[in-house]
Structure 1
Amino acid sequence: MRKKTIISLGIVVFLLLLLRLFLPSIVLHFVNKELKDMEEYTGHVEDIDIALIRGAYVIDGIEILKRDTNKTAAIDTVPFFSCPKIDLSIHWKALFQGKVVGELLVDQPKLNFVHTPSVEPEVKQDTSDLRGLIRDLMPLDINRFEINQAEVHYIDNLSSPKVDVFIKDLNILATHLTNDSVEGDSLPSSLNANGRAYDGVFNLDVKLNALADQPTFDMSAAFENVNLVGLNDFLRAYGNFDVKKGEFNVFTEFAAKEGVFKGYVKPLIKDLDVVQWNKEEGNVLQILWETLVAGAAELFENQKEDQLGSKITIENTFENPNIHTGQAIMIILRNAFVQALRPSIEQSIDLGNIEEEEAKSGFLEGIFKGESEK
């Protein structure tokens, strides 16, 4: 019996070693087959490492390319997604709490949204397909994911000049994505992000219920001190003007519950100087247009703060959003001639007030009243 036991244990150990030896190649073949067989995309992985002790596998050198919009064999030369390392593992902290869930760590990924003439909402489709791929690669529900030093680009090679707008050094951390809601805490999950672009800084804070049937969250975000000179290609391509100097800021808050949401977007531009009256730069129509843009900016600018800005309120349901355009125009006038908007997040939106109706004051009283604007 002892001899049979030793032989049996030896066979088991040998099979485990054999499995450990060939498992990375088996998984690599499976992943590359999944990438190759995708309808809208194709891709390749260089190598896969298996860590059985911690229940993980590491994808090294993944690249995903997008097929053209006509679903032919043509492939976009700009990778849709590339990353030197992705670590997919069991989330041991949650496992000790009785939940078998996964953890995702992504180092230095690069995501490119390339504009094409397609009439479909490509960005929405791309992000949806990417989530689907992650579900295929990670069979467990993801409870925690971390993204380090990411880059996100919007590229338009069809515009003149060509456009490449980006955010770099993007770090994202999301936790408790599969935890059941705790009584008294309707937003048990969290997502925090920060990044940099054009000398500016980006910050995002979100509290959410990831398990809710409808979007349930409370978020605030800010993009501050963005140098508009770095966006001149974008401004020329889509606005037909460029700037000598200028600083862009945007502040936003949104909250949502049971299909209803409420929030605002507050864009502010400081020290704007639009290029104008340069005969060597363009034709007469271009010069006139840039002069008109510069004149309008000067007219609606708060002279004391050298600031152009507004606040756009958006609310109602996701199926039927209501954008208060008239209010935004009046706030432009108030910022210019009465009191400058404060360059900060207002802390005025949360789950407790998304269903509250705004006070029905007079047309001018509500906009031009003398109380301090946040």
Structure 2
Amino acid sequence: MGLIVAISFVALLVVGRLILPYVVLNYLNKTLANMKGYRGHIEDVDIALIRGAYKIDSIYLHKLDTAKDKETPFFAAYNVDLSVEWKALFHGSIVGELVFERPMIRFTKDKVEPKQVRNDSTGFKKLLDDFMPLNVNRVEINDGEIQYKDEFSKPKVDLALTHTYALALNLRNSYDSAALLPASFTMRADLYEGKLSLNAKMNPLADDPTFDMNADLKHTNLVKLNEFFQAYAKVDVNKGKFGLYTEVAAKKGNFAGYVKPLIQDLDVLGKEDRKDNIFQKMWEGFVGTVGEVFQNQSKDQVATKVEFKGSLKNPDTNVWSAIYNVLENAFIQALQPTIDHEINIASVDTKKEEKKNVLQKVFGKKDEPDRKKDKAERKKERKEKKKKKKEQRKEKSEKEASGNNV
């Protein structure tokens, strides 16, 4: 009798294991079908019980435009592996990890709804929450692609980060870390012959955004971005390389950082533009002239450094500092094409007095206390003038009254 029970139990496990992938596949496809504003499908599901994982093969998710009966690709992946993270399990935390192979995510600029990118991000997060029952502590992306499309511009804009590798670790702080920034994120990608690199330390569980990040983009070919420039700047780029260097840190609702873009060998007007109309040639000539004026002649580059700091509720980008650095780069010295390593989590302090350059002192806005003081003084002056005019009118009326009596 005991042998029969044991055989029956084993048989039940085998049958359950055989039908489990179909049950999970049906549940996931049903979830995709019920997502408002989206439509998706999964080709197959593989179960790995020993590893505590399941793998999704060939998934896609499209955005729906019911008014136009149109579907727009939003997300797709060759496969997605969802599993328990064993490293965290050994630390007593039950969390999950996600591994994406050849994923693609596309953000589109909607003509009617300018907040579409934010809505897309919310929809993608909901999808992950439905598919992964555990809190995610580790995410890895292999050979991914991030696209941006604007089908309403002329010409249409189609940009993409390709060959993207990204790794996020300890997002739920499951390794018992007492560090201020226990989680990390690294990213590498290609952008039209250029290389993007991003490194960050962060605390995703903090009440306010808390992170320390640096990134650089080197040697992107501007010619390959001509659709973008033609659509948004109305110029053609015949030659040029673009780089960008940035550091940003934030804690307790405050932030500090800088962005340092550099353009080398810029040429926006050449023999390739002979067929342009006279107005297009005039505009491109103006852009080219501005680029030449603000160009460091020894290194043939246009560059500036925009520093910013403040509160996340009231960001304040230092515009005058940007203008000053353009002039300094053009006529004094070229900015070095590297990260400056001057921003970190300890440098975030909005109460520290900001040093002002010459342009800021002459043309820049006054500090908040000064503005309040000036406003109060102007109000007082207006009140005194109004009082004086009232007294003058009263005195005049009294004189007229005494004259009439005489």
Give the TM-score, by structure 1 length.
0.92
Tell me by how many angstroms 1:313 deviates.
1.8
Tell me by how many angstroms 1:183 deviates.
6.7
Counterparts in 2 of 1:61-210, with a 5 A limit?
Answer: 61-68=58-65, 72=67, 74-76=69-71, 78-179=72-173, 185-210=179-204
Query: How many residues were matched structurally?
Result: 361
**1:344 matched residue in structure 2:** 338
Give the TM-score, by structure 2 length.
0.85
Counterparts in 2 of 1:243-258, with a 5 A limit?
Answer: 243-258=237-252
Contact (CA 8 Å) 1:277, 1:287: kept in 2 or not?
no
More deviation in 351-360 or 78-87?
A: 351-360
**1:370 matched residue in structure 2:** none
For 1:183 and 1:42, the matched residues in 2 are separated by: 40
Deviations 1:112-166 (A, max 9, x none): 1122202332222212221121011001011111000001111122222221111
Match of 1:19 among 16, 19, 22: 16
**2:283 matched residue in structure 1:** 289
Match of 1:32 among 17, 29, 41: 29
Deviations 1:69-103 (A, max 9, x none): xx547233x41011110000011111111111101
In structure 2, the residue corresponding to 1:128 is in which secondary structure? Answer: helix
Letter in 1 for 2:13: L
Query: Structure 1 residues 41, 185: closer, same or farther in 2, change over 3 A?
Result: same
Which consecutive unaligned segments of at least 5 residues does structure 2 have?
Answer: 362-406
Query: Structure 1 residues 102, 279: closer, same or farther in 2, change over 3 A?
Result: closer
Correspondence 1:221 to 2:223: no
Deviations 1:240-269 (A, max 9, x none): 111111000001111011111111111110
Contact (CA 8 Å) 1:276, 1:294: kept in 2 or not?
no
Query: Structure 1 residues 62, 240: closer, same or farther in 2, change over 3 A?
Result: same
For 1:226 and 1:42, the matched residues in 2 are separated by: 35
Contact (CA 8 Å) 1:180, 1:211: kept in 2 or not?
no
Letter in 2 for 1:62: I
More deviation in 297-306 or 157-166?
A: 157-166
Percent of pairs identical after alignment?
Answer: 42
Match of 1:300 among 294, 298, 315: 294
Tell me by how many angstroms 1:204 deviates.
0.4
Deviations 1:198-217 (A, max 9, x none): 11100000001121121111
Contact (CA 8 Å) 1:175, 1:189: kept in 2 or not?
yes
For 1:318 and 1:166, the matched residues in 2 are separated by: 29
Query: Structure 1 residues 13, 103: closer, same or farther in 2, change over 3 A?
Result: same
Contact (CA 8 Å) 1:107, 1:147: kept in 2 or not?
yes
Match of 2:305 among 304, 307, 311: 311
Letter in 2 for 1:160: K
- The alignment's C-alpha RMSD in Å is 2.0
For 1:139 and 1:279, the matched residues in 2 are separated by: 57
For 1:218 and 1:141, the matched residues in 2 are separated by: 23
**1:233 matched residue in structure 2:** 227
Contact (CA 8 Å) 2:78, 2:102: kept in 1 or not?
yes
Deviations 1:291-349 (A, max 9, x none): 11111101111111111111112221222111111111111111101111111111111
Q: Which consecutive aligned stretches of 4+ in structure 1 deviate over 3 angstroms post-superposition?
A: 180-184, 276-280
Query: Structure 1 residues 193, 362: closer, same or farther in 2, change over 3 A?
Result: closer
For 1:140 and 1:183, the matched residues in 2 are separated by: 20
Which consecutive unaligned segments of at least 5 residues does structure 1 have?
Answer: 367-374
Higher share in helix: 2
For 1:297 and 1:253, the matched residues in 2 are separated by: 25
More deviation in 118-127 or 324-333?
A: 118-127
In structure 2, the residue corresponding to 1:348 is in which secondary structure? Answer: coil
For 1:34 and 1:202, the matched residues in 2 are separated by: 35
**1:371 matched residue in structure 2:** none
In structure 2, the residue corresponding to 1:272 is in which secondary structure? Answer: strand
Tell me by how many angstroms 1:181 deviates.
8.3
Contact (CA 8 Å) 2:88, 2:174: kept in 1 or not?
no
Match of 1:261 among 255, 268, 274: 255
Deviations 1:42-61 (A, max 9, x none): 11111111111111110011
Contact (CA 8 Å) 1:276, 1:287: kept in 2 or not?
no
Contact (CA 8 Å) 2:238, 2:270: kept in 1 or not?
no
Tell me by how many angstroms 1:362 deviates.
5.2
For 1:132 and 1:201, the matched residues in 2 are separated by: 31
Letter in 2 for 1:95: L
In structure 2, the residue corresponding to 1:86 is in which secondary structure? Answer: strand
For 2:345 and 2:271, the matched residues in 1 are separated by: 50
Query: Structure 1 residues 338, 31: closer, same or farther in 2, change over 3 A?
Result: same
Match of 2:358 among 360, 363, 370: 363
**2:266 matched residue in structure 1:** 272
